[in-house]
A and B are shown apart, each in its own frame.
Chain A
Amino acid sequence: MIQMLLTGHLWLILLPLLAALASVPLARSRTLLPWGQGLLLLGWNALVLWLWQGGVPDTPATITLGASLVWTLQTDGPALIMALLTTWVGTATLVHTGLHRRAAAMSAKEATPAAFWPMAWLLLATLNVIWLGADLLTLYIGVEALGLVAVAMIALNNKTEAVQAALRYLFATLLGSLAYLVGAGLLFGHYGTLALATLAAEVTANGPTAAGFGLMLAGLALKAAVFPLHGWLPAAHASALLPVSVLHAALVIKASVFVMLRHWLAFAPVFADTLLPLLVGGLGATAILWGSIMALQQTRLKMLIAWSTVAQTGYLLIGFPLLLTDDAALQQLVLQGILYQMVAHGLAKAALFMAAGQLVTATGSDRIDQLTGTGRHLPLTLLTIGLAGVSLMGMPPSAGFVAKWLLASGAIGSGQVIWLVVLLAGGLLSATYILRLLRQAFREGPEQDVFHHPSRVEKITAFMLALMTLLLGLMAIPLLSLIDLPTAVQAGGIAP
Chain B
Amino acid sequence: MSWTSWMPILVLLSSLVTALIIFCLPENRHATRGLLNLAGAVIKILLVTVMIVGVEQGMTFEARYTVLPGVDFILRADGMAMFFAGLSSVLWLFTTLYAIGYLENSPNRSRFFGFFSLCVTSTMGIALAGNLFTFLLFYELLTLSTWPLVVHRGTEKALAAGRTYLIYTLTGGAVLLGGVLWLYGLVGDVEFREGGMLRDMPEALHGQFALIFAVLMVGLAVKAAMVPLHGWLPLAMVAPAPVSALLHAVAVVKAGAFGIIRVVYDLFGIEFAASLNLLWPLGMMAAITILYASLRALAQTQLKRRLAYSTISQVSYIVLGISLFGPVGTIGALVHLLHQGFMKITLFFCAGNYAETLGIHDIKDLDGAGKRMPLTSAAFTLGAFGMIGAPPLAGFISKWYLGVGAVNAGMTWALWVLIASSLLNALYFLPIVHRLWFRPRAVAGWPEEQRLSQRFETSGWLLWPTVATALFIIAAGVFAGMPFSPLSWAQLVAAGEYL
Query: Nearest B residue to A332 by beta-carbon distance?
Result: B69
Within 8 Å CB of A491, what residues of B?
70
Cα distance A431–B148 when bound, in Å? 15
Within 8 Å CB of B186, what residues of A?
496
Contacts A409-B184, A490-B69 given; does A439 touch B159 at CB 8 Å: yes
Within 8 Å CB of B141, what residues of A?
396-397
Cα distance A297–B345 when bound, in Å? 41
Q: Does A405 contact B (CB under 8 A)?
A: yes
Asked if B23 and A379 make an inter-chain contact with CB atoms under 8 angstroms apart, the answer reads yes
Interface centre among A333, A421, A494, A496 (most CB of B within 10 A): A496
Interface contact tally, CB-CB below 8 A = 103
Within 8 Å CB of B498, what residues of A?
none
Q: Does B68 contact A (CB under 8 A)?
A: yes
Asked if A412 and B181 make an inter-chain contact with CB atoms under 8 angstroms apart, the answer reads yes
Q: Does B155 contact A (CB under 8 A)?
A: yes
Using C-beta atoms within 8 Å of the partner chain, give the interface range for chain A.
35 or more
Cα distance A336–B69 when bound, in Å? 10
Cα distance A267–B155 when bound, in Å? 56
Stretch in B44-52, B171-179, B294-302 touching the partner: B171-179
Q: Does B137 contact A (CB under 8 A)?
A: yes
Interface centre among A390, A395, A477 (most CB of B within 10 A): A395
Within 8 Å CB of A77, what residues of B?
none
Cα distance A379–B71 when bound, in Å? 34
Cα distance A465–B170 when bound, in Å? 25
Q: Which of B61-89 contact A (CB under 8 A)?
A: 66-71, 73
Q: How far is the CB of A159 from chain B (nearest CB, A)?
A: 35
Name the contact of B188 in the complex, choosing from A390, A425, A494 (C-beta under 8 A): A494
Q: Does B111 contact A (CB under 8 A)?
A: yes
Q: Which of A351-406 contact B (CB under 8 A)?
A: 375-376, 379, 383, 390, 395-397, 402, 405-406
Asked if B70 and A492 make an inter-chain contact with CB atoms under 8 angstroms apart, the answer reads yes
Within 8 Å CB of B153, what residues of A?
444
Within 8 Å CB of A405, what residues of B?
68, 71, 181
Within 8 Å CB of B69, what residues of A?
333, 336, 477, 480, 485, 489-490
Within 8 Å CB of A409, what residues of B?
181, 184-185
Contacts A402-B68, A477-B68, A492-B189 given; does A390 touch B144 at CB 8 Å: yes
Within 8 Å CB of A375, what residues of B?
108, 111
Contacts A396-B141, A397-B137 given; does A493 touch B70 at CB 8 Å: yes
Asked if B185 and A396 make an inter-chain contact with CB atoms under 8 angstroms apart, the answer reads no
Within 8 Å CB of A333, what residues of B?
69
Q: Does A464 contact B (CB under 8 A)?
A: no
Asked if A412 and B185 make an inter-chain contact with CB atoms under 8 angstroms apart, the answer reads yes
Q: Does B420 contact A (CB under 8 A)?
A: no
Within 8 Å CB of A379, what residues of B?
23, 110-111
Within 8 Å CB of A408, what residues of B?
177-178, 181
Asked if A494 and B185 make an inter-chain contact with CB atoms under 8 angstroms apart, the answer reads yes
Asked if B67 and A493 make an inter-chain contact with CB atoms under 8 angstroms apart, the answer reads no
Within 8 Å CB of A450, what residues of B?
none
Cα distance A496–B203 when bound, in Å? 13
Cα distance A232–B186 when bound, in Å? 43
Interface string of B156-187 (1 = CB under 8 A from A): 00010011001000110111011001101111
Q: How far is the CB of A404 from chain B (nearest CB, A)?
A: 8
Cα distance A412–B177 when bound, in Å? 12
Asked if A431 and B170 make an inter-chain contact with CB atoms under 8 angstroms apart, the answer reads yes
Name the contact of A492 in the complex, choosing from B143, B152, B188 (C-beta under 8 A): B188
Q: Does A420 contact B (CB under 8 A)?
A: yes
Query: Nearest B residue to A439 by beta-carbon distance?
Result: B159
Asked if B111 and A424 make an inter-chain contact with CB atoms under 8 angstroms apart, the answer reads no
Asked if B111 and A443 make an inter-chain contact with CB atoms under 8 angstroms apart, the answer reads no
Asked if A420 and B181 make an inter-chain contact with CB atoms under 8 angstroms apart, the answer reads yes
Q: Does A442 contact B (CB under 8 A)?
A: yes
Query: Nearest A residue to B152 by beta-carbon distance?
Result: A442
Query: Nearest B residue to A372 by beta-carbon distance?
Result: B154
Within 8 Å CB of A475, what residues of B?
67
Given contacts A474-B67, A474-B73, A494-B184, 16 further A-B contacts (CB under 8 A): A379-B23, A379-B111, A395-B173, A396-B137, A396-B140, A397-B141, A402-B68, A405-B71, A413-B185, A431-B166, A439-B159, A480-B69, A485-B69, A494-B70, A496-B186, A496-B187
The 6 A-B residue pairs with the shortest CB-CB distance in the complex, in nearest-first order: A493-B188, A444-B154, A412-B185, A492-B70, A424-B174, A396-B137
